[in-house]
Chain A
Amino acid sequence: MYLSIKEIKKSFPLKDNERLEVLDHINLEVEKGSFVSIVGPSGCGKSTLLYLIAGLEKVDEGLITVAGKEVRKPGPDRVVVFQEDGLFPWLTVLDNVTYGLKIKGQSKDEMEKKAKDILQMVHLSNYADSYPHQLSGGMKQRVSIARALVMEPDILLMDEPFSALDEQTRMVLHRELLEIWRKTNVTIFFVTHNIREAVQLSEKVVVLATRPGKIKEIIPVPTTKDGVMPDSVTLHTEQRILSLLEGEIEKVLKEEMGDDYSFKANPVHRSDSGDMGSNI
């Protein structure tokens, strides 16, 4: 397997020598070139899992390997696109994109060519010399995706990259991301709390349970060759994930608000009177 996660445990120290267990016995295998999403209730440790793969946090127990090599520290083969763009405000768009390439030590011409190609891919060729603050939120996130892709990483780790954007921009970026994924064949590990986003984008959705985070189920998303799925099929998958998550959401709410809280599922999500057996 390309990315392999074995028996991962991770906890964070609380006060009074207690430890909060965030991830418990996580096992996951991801194939090269696939698109995997992680969904789960807030606080289930999905971002932590991503940071572990990135090498920004250290595992307590277990082993993460990428292409057979153990992950010990952050590296340019596993770049992260964060929720906020994280562009350096003191650099131009072009300099931001070439930041990682400079560390790799590539020649200037090569760097500029690559950066220009990538900026074209995310439709920002005209903004190479702008500063980040001159761009809109969606454009900034495009730049940070470009900055990651230009490194030609083995794995692209995305930590809720579109959650701070408005709906329209998000839709456009979804389409662009899928296009890029098909073109570059990069492996994408995508963390989100948006079930629909996960189903629409990825081939596999990993549902995490909470406190401590465990893998509840791995759901393959049926895809057609052209990538366009009939709505009824995606809706069915979404509902399955939602029903899996309902119990987890209730657990979180009970913990936060006391035991008398009960989370009633919205019946709109469940009953589907017009469904003439699409999930047979």
Chain B
Amino acid sequence: MIAVIWEVTSRVSGLPDFMFPSLLLVLETLFTGLIDGQITAAVIRSIGRILLGFSIATLIGLIFGYLIWRYKLVEDTLGFLVTALQSIPSIVWFPLAIIWFGLNEFAILFIVTIGATWTMTMNASSGFKNVPRLYQRVAKTYGSSGFHFLRTVIVPASVPQLLSGMRIAWAFSWRALMAGELLASSGGLGQLLDAGRSLGQMDLVISVMIIIAVIGTIMDQLIFLRLERSVQRKWGIS
């Protein structure tokens, strides 16, 4: 339905193709782009970046979350700071990143990471804090302590919240990645968008937008949502 409206309006509107391309043209560009490797290469590049940045962010988030949960002093200082930092869109860090690392791979990686870190930290610390006292007591009476206690009780008990944190963190870093690539022009989907703009190829721009949406949906629905569901099923939470 939407496809038909799109196709018809683009033909009737009289706007030139470089401003409002028809659906068929977009699909054609999308397929040739995927086949000849232009879009595919960009997708691989972007995914590689986000996987790296997101993994680092998750790790840092877990460590910060642990520290905030464990030490009152850290909670009062870092915990408060994180709340403030979380409200800064990660692209705002970009000027700083350029100065620190130059307009390169590192700068992009930096904002991708920072985009996800704070959300992850918040979710990890609140996940750890909400582990029922009962589980902690049970584990202690069976002689669990230290790292074993963390590994067998605190982390597994907060898995549901960690997963939903990762889901939001992923969304944030995905946005940051696109913004970063658009500005840094060093490969990836974001740069392809910029290229499409400067060449006046709106069909390419829209193709890339479709790819971005598709990847975003796949990650969210197929991976994170599915993980969440399987945990819920196992735990018997409906």
Contacts and interface: CB of A to CB of B under 8 A. Distances in A.
B135 A75 contact: no
Interface stretch (B88-96, B153-161, B202-210): B153-161
Contacts of A14: none
Nearest to B134: A86
Interface stretch (A32-40, A62-70, A128-136): A128-136
A55 B140 CA distance: 9
A55 B156 CA distance: 24
B141 interface: yes
Given A82-B134, A84-B134, A133-B235, A103 B143 contact: yes
A99 B152 CA distance: 9
A79 B143 CA distance: 9
Contacts of A133: 235-237
B236 A75 contact: no
Contacts of A134: 236
B152 A132 contact: no
A79 B135 contact: no
B143 A75 contact: yes
Contacts, number: 61
Contacts of B143: 74-76, 100, 103-104
A76 B142 contact: yes
Contacts of B235: 89-90, 131, 133
Interface residues of A, dominant DSSP? loop
Contacts of B139: 99
B153 to A, nearest CB: 7
A261 interface: no
B150 to A, nearest CB: 14
B148 A86 contact: no
B141 A75 contact: yes
Contact of B157 (A88, A100, A131, A132): A88
Interface in A32-85: 54-56, 73-76, 78-80, 82, 84
Nearest to B149: A103
Contacts of A74: 137, 140-141, 143
B159 A90 contact: yes
Contacts of A100: 142-143
A133 B139 CA distance: 19
Nearest to B235: A89
Interface of B: 134-135, 137-144, 148, 152-153, 156-157, 159, 234-237
- What 5 A-B pairs are tightest by C-beta distance, nearest first? A133-B236, A100-B142, A89-B235, A74-B140, A86-B138
22 contacts: A55-B141, A56-B140, A74-B137, A75-B141, A75-B143, A76-B141, A79-B142, A80-B137, A80-B138, A80-B141, A88-B135, A89-B234, A99-B139, A99-B142, A100-B142, A100-B143, A103-B142, A103-B148, A131-B234, A131-B235, A133-B236, A134-B236
Interface of A: 54-56, 73-76, 78-80, 82, 84, 86, 88-90, 99-100, 103-104, 131-134, 151
